[in-house]
A and B are shown apart, each in its own frame.
Chain A
């Protein structure tokens, strides 16, 4: 079975975000790009499928700062092939990325394409369903479980309130992973460093970046809250006392 996992790098929200001087983009000076956490789950799900059914797992990622580490970490978890798509992805939207990836992905003839259901910087849809459109494959998102059973793919799709729908999907297909069946495994730094020595990242070039289909952003800003909470200050004893007063006012005490 041939599984391809698409990975995006997204801004790390631990850092303070700022808008650059143009007013419509994120300031990249202090920006750290990390793997999209849902794509991390997609990798985990892919490796689990490989461990259960045997598969060749290929991880594809765009050439952004930090991508090598992401790919080698995937290799240390069990990915078989690593592909880095060269190009200037710094301003690319998801449509451009989907088009850039799809030519290469088509060549690899996957049975299953996995990617995270969303990413924190999505403004023009998500990579998964866009890829499905480019590859003309069916797409199901919000997946939290995947099993292979007699030629069919059985998936668990999440709805609000904890409701799950079991969807049968014919292959080849694209799935948007919400959560892998187990949290992404830990891989020791020494294993990743080992991979840096023994694995190779295949580089492919994307034929230009076609951003058509995404919106034009005229302004980015940090929201001023319409309101802000009334802040309670003091040492813990004082704060607790004030809260107890509030509880009494609300009739809970």
Chain B
């Protein structure tokens, strides 16, 4: 039993995911209150190099004193069953004060199951913590926040991005690497058959400087042409939020969001996008977000620099023609 905060580092195909740094930052906040330290937990197969030095080009390391590394052939790529069993062994043995997972395709496969298996309390969708051991979570599409005391003896936590910056989870000090024993993860009931690359598509929206993005407010596929005209006039491309891609109105290569691409354009024009967390987290690195939405309570206005309640169907065409006129075309 210790007062440490364990952070389960997420990595995919040799890359550490950005959420890991956010989790480390959150863990450090918690550790201040509980008096322990933060330890990164990394599972893999012959991945010591990655654990010790996740981002050689940047010269930044995981902002922890120690990395607990678990090595096993069954852990080379993430699969829920093997990872869950390995972590169960570690948590049961070490009994840290808290274990932080990402609220992601990796973390959510693990945390809840471990909560039942190890009979440990959990709290999910946390965006930030306070030094006196409180968590703040968001629900209902980011419209409601919930606060409480972190339960014990070991709290299992899933974190969403937004509360901390990536830099807060990095420092220039290389941590020590400790290899941790695993007894067995058998029987392994989930195996990886392979990866399927995303459609490459005609554009890489992550590289574009201007994005004209459409959400549910565009109402149907025919109206997307309005966004295309504006994008063309501004020298950008069209992207979209999840509902638009799910309907098949834009290809998946244009998806901006948690399960799509994170973008950092100069201008992100959000047309009829509400700004739910899964989308918001993918655009916060944009230089300037401009939101057009008739709902004054839409969360997008909390992250946008400029906004207007004008109906996009009244505004976009007028805007396009004014842009063209300003270009002298």
Contacts and interface: CB of A to CB of B under 8 A. Distances in A.
Interface of A: 11, 13, 16-17, 19, 24, 26, 94-95, 98, 117-118, 120-126, 128-130, 132-134, 138-142, 154, 156-170, 173, 176, 178-179, 183, 212-223, 225-234, 236-237, 239-241, 243-244, 246-248, 250-253
Interface stretch (B44-52, B68-76, B164-172, B259-267): B259-267
Nearest to A143: B105
Contacts of B273: none
Nearest to B143: A17
Contact of A166 (B144, B196, B291, B319): B196
B259 A13 contact: no
B209 interface: yes
A236 B148 contact: no
B126 to A, nearest CB: 9
Interface stretch (B22-30, B59-67, B246-254): B246-254
A130 B113 contact: yes
A221 B140 CA distance: 12
Contact of B108 (A117, A156, A230): A117
10 contacts: A122-B139, A123-B124, A169-B190, A173-B189, A215-B151, A229-B302, A236-B319, A243-B319, A244-B323, A246-B306
Given A221-B147, A252-B266, 11 more contacts: A16-B297, A98-B116, A123-B137, A125-B111, A133-B115, A219-B147, A220-B144, A229-B307, A233-B309, A237-B318, A252-B267
A161 B104 CA distance: 13
Given A141-B109, A218-B147, A122 B124 contact: yes
Interface in B271-329: 287-291, 297, 301-310, 314-315, 318-319, 322-323, 326-327
A163 B197 contact: yes
A250 B139 contact: no
A56 B78 CA distance: 32
Contacts of A125: 108, 111-112, 115, 122, 124, 156, 158
B291 A17 contact: no
A19 B143 CA distance: 11
B220 to A, nearest CB: 14
A218 B253 CA distance: 41
B123 A158 contact: no
Contacts of B235: 252
A218 to B, nearest CB: 5
B140 A13 contact: yes
Nearest to A229: B307
A166 B193 contact: yes
A87 B12 CA distance: 42
A237 B319 CA distance: 8
B123 A215 contact: yes
Interface in B80-132: 80-81, 104-105, 108-117, 119-125
Given A183-B246, A213-B116, A227-B302, A162 B253 contact: yes
A59 to B, nearest CB: 21
A56 B116 CA distance: 28
B246 A221 contact: no
Contacts of A161: 198, 260-261
Contacts of A16: 297
A178 B242 CA distance: 11
Contact of A253 (B146, B190, B291, B323): B323
Contacts of B77: 165
A142 B80 CA distance: 12
A247 B209 CA distance: 12
Question: What are the 7 closest A-B residue pairs judged by CB atoms, nearest first?
Answer: A133-B116, A162-B198, A125-B112, A229-B307, A225-B302, A129-B112, A215-B123
Contacts of B309: 231, 233
A243 B319 CA distance: 8
B135 interface: yes
Interface string B145-163: 1111111000010100000
Contact of B105 (A159, A179, A241): A159
A133 B114 contact: yes
Contacts of A11: 140
Most buried by A among B135, B191, B255: B191
Contacts of B156: 125
A142 B261 CA distance: 16
Given A217-B148, A221-B145, A130 B196 contact: no
A232 B306 CA distance: 7
B112 A164 contact: no
Contacts of B199: 162
Contacts of B261: 160-162
Nearest to A227: B302
A109 B121 CA distance: 28
A141 B12 CA distance: 16
B142 interface: yes
Contacts of A132: 112-113
A195 B143 CA distance: 36
Given A139-B113, A160-B259, A213-B116, A230 B307 contact: yes
